[in-house]
Amino acid sequence: MKKNIFLQNTNHGVHGVFKRDELRSTTRNYRNTTCHPCSSSVSSVVKYYSLLILLLIIIFTINSCASWGAASAEEYYAIGMAYYDMGKFEEAEKWLNRAKAKDKTKSASEYNLGRIAFETGRYDDAIKHFEAILKRDPVNVLALKAAAYTYIRSGDIEKAAALYDRVLALVPESADDGYNYALVLYAMKKYPEAEQVLKNHEFALLDNNDVLLLYARAQKEQNKPEAIDSYDKWLINNTDAQVRYEYAQLLEAQEMYARALTEYRLALDGLSSGSGELTKQDVRFTIARLLLFADAGSSDGVAQLQEAVADGFADTEKITGLLDDERISAANKEGIRAIITQLERAAAEAAAEAAAAEAAAKAAAADEPEVEEEAAEEEI
């Protein structure tokens, strides 16, 4: 199952999976690597020139040998990584491929060739390099993480999930990998599994806003009342209209209408006037819908619906659907019908104006040849 996730609906992305210190401690073969495949290029001018000087020294040393064959695999690898750190990926690949031919630097070179492929957007090539390492060493945590992260970027979330499962079996204490795995499970709509993975890292739920929000969302998708507390905790230190809107939806689903109405209004206040996934008119419609059945004896719902329409809400299908809700009073349904009639009339007028404009344009186009003929006759 391939999807371009990632996570358009989660409001956060994958945590950095290969930290600098982790690379140093995982295995000696990777002691020269710097960060995960998404690392930025070297920004320090001083470091750049230091690498350049080091590179020249190494190349000079190799040139001093009787032949290129006398150079060691470590020297090839060092040159490749120097070019990598300078952002010269094509040159780096050339030297790392030489180093890869030697057993001593095979895995480290393969891994960094995968990083280069990732950096240059060649995800299929990157996966081949990481999978080659795993074929020789199935419990190589670094390669497992790299392959999982690359599968995420390529959109194959099922394979990413399987790899993260293997990572956590080897390093169950890793909160970052637990979060990434849960994020993949969430994208696969495996909400109970995502919640359980996050629950295994309870300390992260206290310290990390992304983890806590994903936990709340996984609970919400299961319609669990516990999600209310999780959203509450997140909203203590964070402000986001989309998240508050989700929270209001949860409260409404739990029939806590007064609190839901308050949160919907706060979400409305927090939205900018610009367009986005969640718009002011959409929230106004939601508030109107809730008022129409939660406060059926009042006309406030119809008034709010009129505001939504004035703000640009024009989904007549959704508005017409309100007429099927038995909780809405007959009087308010009359108000809804009047709004529908208003929208239909406006749509008909707009269509008539468009048709008239099109007819006028066609007529003008038809007159142009006659005008040109008259002009030509006058010139003669």
CATH classification of the domain holding 17: 1.25.40.10
Q: Which range has the top average pLDDT, 14-23, 76-85, 260-269?
A: 260-269
Q: Average pLDDT for residues 258-279, to the nearest whole number?
A: 86
Q: Flag whether 243 is in a domain.
A: no
Indicate whether 284 and 174 sit together in one domain.
no
What's the pLDDT score for residue 379? Answer: 62
Tell me whether residue 116 is in a domain: yes
Question: 140-144, 185-189, 364-368: which range is least confident on average?
Answer: 364-368
Same domain, 179 and 32: yes
Split into its structural domains, the chain has a count of 2
How many alpha carbons lie under 13 Å from residue 365 in its C-beta half-sphere? 6
pLDDT of residue 7: 38
Domain end point (choices 147, 164, 188): 188
Q: Are 200 and 225 in contact (CB under 8 A)?
A: no
Residues 122 and 10 in one domain: yes
The chain-wide mean pLDDT, for the chain, equals 78
Residue carrying the six token digits 């031919």: 101
Please state, for a pLDDT cut of 70, what percent of the chain lies above it: 71
Query: Which pTM value belongs to this model?
Result: 0.68
Q: Residue 251 falls within a domain, yes or no?
A: no
Range of the domain at 77: 1-188
Question: What band does 284 get if pLDDT is binned at 50, 70 and 90?
Answer: very high
Residue 2 bridge partners (DSSP): 156
List b or e across 199-231, with b for residues whose CB sees 16 or more CB atoms inside 10 angstroms: eebeebbeebebbbbbbbbbbbbeebeebbebb
134 within a domain of the structure (yes/no) = yes
Give yes or no for a contact between 19 and 33, defined as CB atoms under 8 angstroms apart: no
Q: Is 329 a domain residue?
A: yes
Lowest mean pLDDT among 81-95, 199-213, 232-246: 81-95
Question: Which of 139, 156, 188 is the last residue in one of the domains?
Answer: 188
Q: State pLDDT tens for residues 122-141.
A: 999 999 989 998 998 898 88
Q: Could you tell me the pLDDT band of residue 373, with boundaries at 50, 70 and 90?
A: low
Are both 23 and 160 inside the same structural domain?
yes
Indicate if 167 and 39 belong to the same structural domain: yes
35 plus 159 within the same structural domain: yes
Q: Tell me which of 188, 209, 238 is where a domain ends.
A: 188
Confidence of residue 362 (pLDDT cuts 50, 70, 90): confident
Residue 367 CA neighbour count, 13 Å, CB half: 6
Predicted pLDDT at 37: 40
* Residue 21 is assigned to a structural domain of this protein: yes
Task: Write the pLDDT tens digit of every residue in 298-333.
Answer: 999 999 999 999 988 989 999 999 999 999 999 999
pLDDT digits (tens, 9 = 90+) for 17-58: 443 233 323 223 333 333 344 444 444 544 554 545 554 555
Q: Rounded mean pLDDT of 74-87?
A: 71
* 265 within a domain of the structure (yes/no): no
pLDDT at 63 over 60: no
Looking at residue 320, its pLDDT comes to: 94
Whether 8 maps to a domain, the answer reads yes
Asked if 158 and 286 sit in the same domain, the reply is: no
